[in-house]
Amino acid sequence: MMEKNMYAVPWKLVPNKIVRYPGGREIDRFRGIWPGEDDGRPEAWVGSDTRTRGAELRGDPNDGCAEVILPDGTKCYLFEAVQKNPEEALGAAHMARNGTGVGVLVKLLDAEKQLGLQTHPTRPYAKKWFNSDYGKEESWYVLSKRDDSPETPYVYMGFKEGVTRTMFEEAYDRGDIRAMEDCCHKIPVEVGDVFFIQAGLPHAIGCGCFVAEVQEPSDITVGAGKLRSGTEEEQAFHKERLLGCYIYNGADYEENLRRYRIAPKVLRCGDWGEETVVIGKAQTEFFSFTRLEATGKVDLQRTGTPQIVLVLEGKATLYCGDTVMPIQKADELFIPFAAGEITLEPTEKTVMLLCNPAGAAYGE
């Protein structure tokens, strides 16, 4: 009985930081750690059952996987808790679509310096070239910008009008990354901006950007440069896989923004506040998320799937059956499929992202 009841309430997740590239300070500050540190751990993988590529080679086969604190106080990996009773954790309909995986990956991402130009594969391309069932469509919600960044925070996103594979390949053959970046639009960002990164789209997060990233549960990234070493055959294979992953459908600056900078749409509102669809079915079938801003008592909308929740600001209490759970800024939650009705009661304005895998029904 206790095991079954465990899935009837939200679970608090254990904050993590993942070793990757320069950054990490803004994650610390978001979590109330001041002044924070750029410690080379610039990503937090929230509610993740996804492993980083090469995790086993780095000595931790579960690198990237989130831990959870269960209602009885025990701590384990989220995937372990799910595996104990996947139907209660995920739901039968979700399992038919995604197996026993959570089906979505949520990150906090803090770029001290610009990340490399890159793209990600569609699902068919990922299956053919990477033997993966998941591609990597993703989205960004800009949380903040560094005030000491060497230039105004920006992103590279989308090919310019008229860019062809031949042009991009010529720059690749020269090893001219700057020329490859110049094939793309450079876009200054503002807090609250939302971008949808379609598979095949060239992109790079610029210096000074702190974002929440919601994506398919995959760690496949295709860069823009040659292998540092390798045989002629290995270099040829790498080049073909890399250049074939990009989709060459450029546009002018305004059309590019129209395609990929997303305006959230109101889902519901009332005296309590407002919930908007940030990324939904109009952008992708693979995941979705909403932004809930509340100053008054409101029930959370259930989606028929598990959910990952990231508290962006405020303090509140969640009520679910007999469970009373205080939450505050930077808290991370996993809501099992079998959880009962959940009511949010803010003590101050509270803002949350509620992130869903494929198949979520939230009244859009």
Amino acid at 187: I
Do the Cβ atoms of 144 and 208 come closer than 8 Å? no
State the DSSP code for 222. Answer: B
Whether residue 2 is predicted with pLDDT greater than 80 in this model: the reply is no
Query: Model's pTM, two decimal places?
Result: 0.96
Whether residue 206 is predicted with pLDDT greater than 60 in this model: the reply is yes
Give 83-118 pLDDT, tens digit per residue.
999 999 999 999 999 999 999 999 999 999 999 999
Token duo for residue 83: 């595996």
Give 148-169 pLDDT, tens digit per residue.
999 999 999 999 999 999 999 9
184 forms beta bridges with: 159
Residue 1: the pLDDT is: 34
Amino acid at 114: Q
Residue 301: the pLDDT is: 95
- Residues of 57-92 as b/e, b for ≥16 C-beta within 10 angstroms? eeeeebbbbbbbebbeeeeebbbebbeeebebbbbe
Token duo for residue 89: 């954790």
Give 21-57 pLDDT, tens digit per residue.
999 999 999 999 999 999 999 999 999 999 999 888 8
Token duo for residue 313: 């600001």
Do the Cβ atoms of 141 and 75 come closer than 8 Å? no
- Residues of 213-229 as b/e, b for ≥16 C-beta within 10 angstroms? bbbbbbbbebbbeeeee
Domains of the chain: residue spans and CATH: 12-260 (2.60.120.10), 265-357 (2.60.120.10)
Amino acid at 208: G
Residues with Cβ < 8 Å from 313, sequence gap 6 or more?
329, 349, 350, 351
Least confident span in 34-38, 66-70, 271-275, 360-364: 360-364
Residue 157: the pLDDT is: 98
State the DSSP code for 108. Answer: E
C-alpha 205/C-alpha 191 separation (Å) is: 14
Strand, helix or coil at 130?
Answer: helix
DSSP string, 175-218: T-HHHHHHTEEEEE--TT-EEEE-TT--EEEPTTEEEEEEE-S-
Strand, helix or coil at 288?
Answer: strand
C-alpha 210/C-alpha 205 separation (Å) is: 9
Give 241-272 pLDDT, tens digit per residue.
999 999 999 999 999 999 999 999 999 999 99
